[in-house]
């Protein structure tokens, strides 16, 4: 299938837990740009994030990220500036967009910024339509023969999300994939 001229950016975050309203925050982010069906390695962004909160023991064991690892990492304000830069004139791609975007919105609120206003596509939503139920990222990767593994680290998982998106785009083409295009303009808290 022919690709359009959009730049797509697969995004993944890792967090201190699963509840931003309960104080959990972003501790790692990765953005993997895709252009014309190819990952643009020179444009990839990945960073640990210092949210200035503790990391639950369980989250440390899942992500292999400790307080010591994030002490000198950029803060939420710096990370949001990067996300806003990457989201200009692009379409963001997530697996479970609501989770990542909600955390990004809480981060924006915490540093006194407006929520993100972005266009995005969710590979979880595509999988629900294609398979009749949502599939985990690692399941999709395995079924699609994607060599990269889901490790619960932002770079690896964003890379897998990018490859899953590329496979879906190649399978269904621009018109069908763009039926999944959504706009996120923040949410009420």
Could you tell me if 25 and 76 are in contact, meaning their C-beta atoms sit under 8 angstroms apart?
A: yes
| pLDDT given at position 188 | 41
* Domain assignments of the chain as residue spans, ordered by start: 7-184
| pTM recorded for the entire structure | 0.94
Are the beta carbons of 33 and 9 closer than 8 angstroms?
A: yes
State pLDDT tens for residues 149-166. Answer: 889 999 999 999 999 999
pLDDT of 75-127, one tens digit each?
Answer: 999 999 999 999 999 999 999 999 999 999 999 999 999 999 999 999 999 99
Is the predicted pLDDT of residue 132 greater than 50, yes or no?
yes
The pLDDT of residue 50 is above 90: yes
Q: Domain 7-184 is classified in which CATH homologous superfamily? A: Ribonuclease H-like superfamily/Ribonuclease H (3.30.420.10)
The answer to whether 125 and 164 are in contact (CB under 8 A) is no
Look over the chain and give the mean of its residue pLDDT values, rounded to a whole number.
94
């Amino acid at each position: 299938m022919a690709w359009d001229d959009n730049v797509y950016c697969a995004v993944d975050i890792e967090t201190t837990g699963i509840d931003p309203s309960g104080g959990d925050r972003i501790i790692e982010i990765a953005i993997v740009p895709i252009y014309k069906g190819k990952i643009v390695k020179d444009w990839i962004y990945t960073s640990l994030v210092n949210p200035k909160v503790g990391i639950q023991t369980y989250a440390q064991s899942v992500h292999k990220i400790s307080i010591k690892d994030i002490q000198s990492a950029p803060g939420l304000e710096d990370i949001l500036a990067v996300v806003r830069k990457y989201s200009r004139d692009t379409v963001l791609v997530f697996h479970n967009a609501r989770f990542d975007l909600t955390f990004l919105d809480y981060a924006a609120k915490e540093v006194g910024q407006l929520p993100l206003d972005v266009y995005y596509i969710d590979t979880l939503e595509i999988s629900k339509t294609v398979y009749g139920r949502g599939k985990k990222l690692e399941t999709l990767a395995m079924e699609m023969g994607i060599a990269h593994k889901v490790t619960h680290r932002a770079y690896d998982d964003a890379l897998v999300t990018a490859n899953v998106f590329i496979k879906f785009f190649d399978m269904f083409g621009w018109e069908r994939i763009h039926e999944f295009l959504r706009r996120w303009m923040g949410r009420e808290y």
